[in-house]
Amino acid sequence: MGWHYRKSIKVGPFRINLSRHGVGHSFGGRRFHVSTTPDGRRHVTVRLPGGFHLSKSLGGRRHRYYR
């Protein structure tokens, strides 16, 4: 069983997300927001009335090289 950690800090319209994988951030409101994960993937989400939402992942992930 693995362990998980997640903490979110709101700074104005920005949100900084801390997890054991790193630091991510997001921007936006209730209907539209853009987020970046700790590994560099970007997601755009649009929420529509009636419970529908559209989500799109932009770009690939950044590769981290460990020595």
8-65 residue pLDDT tens: 999 988 999 998 889 999 999 889 989 998 888 999 999 999 989 999 998 766 655 5
Q: Nearest Cα to 14, choosing from 28, 1, 32?
A: 28
Q: Nearest Cα to 41, choosing from 24, 20, 55?
A: 24
pLDDT for 62: 60
pLDDT for 59: 77
Ranges of each domain in the chain: 6-58
Rounded to two decimals, what is the model's pTM?
Answer: 0.64
